[in-house]
Chain A
Amino acid sequence: MRSAARARGLYWLCHYAALALFVAFALFPLFWLLKVSITPNDLLYSEGVRLWPSHATIAHYVSVIQHTQFPLYFRNSVIVSATTALLSTLIAAAAGYGFSRFRFRGKLWILGVMLVTQMFPLVMIVAPIFRLLAPLGLTNSLSGLVLVYTAFNVPFASFLMQSFFDGIPKELEEAAMIDGATRFQALRWIILPLTLPGLAATAGFVFTGAWSELLFALMLNSSSQVSTFPVGLLSFVSKFSVDFGQMMAAGVLALIPVCAFFLLIQRHLVQGLTAGAVKG
């Protein structure tokens, strides 16, 4: 009996030790980002690989906010990501509802096309998209990015929304329709309120995806006035690659919106992603 207890204790020791390794691996890079961002410049070189500086400063954050274009990049990214999230969620909710509630001619084809869009390399359409958008005045513009990102995100978001609608019994809107409501009224007043968590999760996924996108933003927008955060940070890195404190402070700022979203949805992550786990 004692040895069984000891074996169990040993098991849990290994279990926690393995988890500790995973946690350390996951957090260390972010910890280092934070650490350098608050290390004064003179200590950065003299103290080398110390885990925590002997004194901390917020000077890097202040100068990033006051003396660089990052506030502008941040604003651009917020506009692009929020608009993309809103549009994609609306369009995907409609499509997801259609897929969930109707059987119609061509449905299989539409689903197939949407699946294909998830498979081919997006780099393949960088060049044609540039050539298509340029004459329309949609390069070097935030609207162009919103259009492209919305299209990229709608297929995955539709699958996600479909799975949320599938989880709501059909009988609910059927009952409302028997009572005289049109299908759209039933959707608007009965089904949508029930899918609010699903809508929020979808919007969050799209927001994070748009916030992180780099290649198209780099290709389509060359003017720094309409640069998004990733592009701004990258050009900052190639121009002022000695100011590590400022770069990492900017990096920490870029993390804030996505981490906030992550904390909101992490509870539903495991269940929610099973439904439509197609994309990173």
Chain B
Amino acid sequence: MHGGATAEPALARRLSWRALTRATEPYLYTLPALLLIATVMMMPLVIGLSYAFRDITLLDPLSGGFVGLDHFRELYADASFWNALRNTVTWTATSVALQFALGLMLAQLLNRAFPGRALIQILVFLPWAVPSFLSGLNWAWLFNPVVGPLPYWFQAAGLTHGTDNLLSDPQHALWGPIIANVWWGIPFFAITLLAALQSIPRDIYEAAVMDGAGPWTRFRRITLPFLAPTMAITILLRTVWIANFADLIVVMTKGGPADSTQILASYIFTQAFQRLDFGYASAVAAVLVLLLLAYAGALLLLRRLLTARF
């Protein structure tokens, strides 16, 4: 009896201590990540949204006041903004379409065993490892008639009359960053699609061959339906990501010549970095976020409608 009387509170204490650790344990593991994300990403995000309604110019001690919707009115009348918006659509749609089409082709080519596949896979995926600033510089050099071969090749192929730098031609300059982006982004699509292709059971194809289905039918009736979910999610994420991706343009053209390659993301960066106008930059950023949210929402809605139908 004696021992039991002293042991019981100790046991109860131990039990409640254990219950406490058990209840808090999951949070202890996730807390560092959460704190960091809250302070370094979510808080600046909220502050950044508030900047859109304030007059914030760095190095100007008088700035900081609330200006309501002034930035958005200014933006509505800003021809550079509308131009950047158009360029964003061209840049994103062309880059994603080409990256996806070529990535899918490459994934198909790699999705069967042949001698040398391991080596070829390393070589074609290599651009993915190249830092984006370097791939921008590298392509800028290739387009430069002083050191790069491309202007001469374009001329020889009859695409251009002279050997001028593509990047200084306002009509076509946006193709420079797009090509660099496609080069750099094909591996990403190829890797994700190849992984999805490899998860399709082999015997389905064998059965289809026995039933006399040709390569095109097999692709349309087996491969595409199996890949559809992966395709949808990667295209969605990639579109958002590329719309926000300013590095290549900042490095290759700085948005020029004459704003012809300026996209919204690079416009935001120029406003913040060169004009130090954080308020206006944040207003443009807020619009970009809204547009991307609308895009993602529309896509998800469309998907729901389509899946409800069939």
Residues of A that sit less than 8 Å from B by CB? 12, 15, 18-19, 22-23, 25-27, 29-30, 32-33, 36, 44-45, 48-49, 91-92, 94-95, 97-99, 101-104, 107, 110, 113-114, 117-132, 147-148, 150-152, 154-155, 158, 183, 208, 211-212, 214-215, 218-219, 230, 233-234, 237, 244, 247-248, 251, 254-255, 258-259, 261-263, 266, 269-271, 273-274, 277-280
A258 B131 Cβ-Cβ under 8 A: yes
A255 B130 Cβ-Cβ under 8 A: yes
Residue of B nearest to A118 (CB): B237
Q: How far is the CB of B134 from chain A (nearest CB, A)?
A: 6
Flag whether B26 is at the interface (Cβ < 8 A). yes
B137 A151 Cβ-Cβ under 8 A: no
Residues of chain B contacted by A150 (CB below 8 angstroms): 36, 40
Interface centre among A91, A97, A155, A278 (most CB of B within 10 A): A91
B244 A266 Cβ-Cβ under 8 A: no
Residues of chain A contacted by B246 (CB below 8 angstroms): 123, 215
30 CB < 8 A contacts A-B? A19-B109, A19-B124, A23-B124, A25-B183, A32-B138, A91-B33, A94-B30, A95-B29, A98-B26, A102-B29, A124-B285, A126-B272, A127-B281, A128-B45, A128-B51, A128-B282, A132-B43, A132-B44, A155-B33, A214-B250, A215-B246, A218-B273, A234-B133, A234-B251, A244-B141, A244-B147, A266-B121, A269-B125, A271-B195, A277-B191
A44 B47 Cβ-Cβ under 8 A: no
Flag whether B169 is at the interface (Cβ < 8 A). no
B41 A125 Cβ-Cβ under 8 A: yes
Given A30-B138, A125-B45, A215-B269, are A23 and B285 neighbors across the interface (CB < 8 Å)?
Answer: no
B142 A29 Cβ-Cβ under 8 A: yes
A121 B268 Cβ-Cβ under 8 A: yes
Complex CA distance for A148 and B102, rounded to whole angstroms: 34
Interface SS of chain A: helix
Complex CA distance for A91 and B58, rounded to whole angstroms: 33
User: Among A48, A121, A127, which residue has its beta carbon within 8 angstroms of that of B244?
Assistant: A121
Given A98-B26, A131-B278, A270-B191, are A214 and B251 neighbors across the interface (CB < 8 Å)?
Answer: yes
Complex CA distance for A102 and B30, rounded to whole angstroms: 10
Interface centre among B106, B130, B269 (most CB of A within 10 A): B130
Flag whether B48 is at the interface (Cβ < 8 A). yes
Flag whether B149 is at the interface (Cβ < 8 A). yes
User: Among A30, A99, A266, which residue has its beta carbon within 8 angstroms of that of B125?
Assistant: A266
Residues of B that sit less than 8 Å from A by CB? 25-30, 32-34, 36-37, 39-45, 47-48, 51, 56, 58, 102, 105-106, 109, 114, 120-135, 137-139, 141-142, 146-149, 152-153, 183, 185-188, 191-192, 194-196, 198-199, 234, 237-238, 240-241, 243-244, 246-247, 250-251, 265, 268-269, 272-273, 278, 281-282, 285-286, 288-289, 292, 296
Complex CA distance for A219 and B135, rounded to whole angstroms: 20
Residue of A nearest to B118 (CB): A267
A49 B149 Cβ-Cβ under 8 A: yes
Interface centre among B43, B134, B146 (most CB of A within 10 A): B134
Complex CA distance for A263 and B128, rounded to whole angstroms: 12
Complex CA distance for A98 and B272, rounded to whole angstroms: 38
B120 A23 Cβ-Cβ under 8 A: yes
Complex CA distance for A36 and B234, rounded to whole angstroms: 36
Q: How far is the CB of A22 from chain B (nearest CB, A)?
A: 5
User: Among A22, A99, A128, A183, which residue has its beta carbon within 8 angstroms of that of B106?
Assistant: A22
A273 B192 Cβ-Cβ under 8 A: yes
Given A29-B139, A152-B41, A273-B192, are A22 and B285 neighbors across the interface (CB < 8 Å)?
Answer: no
Given A125-B48, A214-B133, A263-B122, are A22 and B109 neighbors across the interface (CB < 8 Å)?
Answer: yes
B288 A121 Cβ-Cβ under 8 A: yes
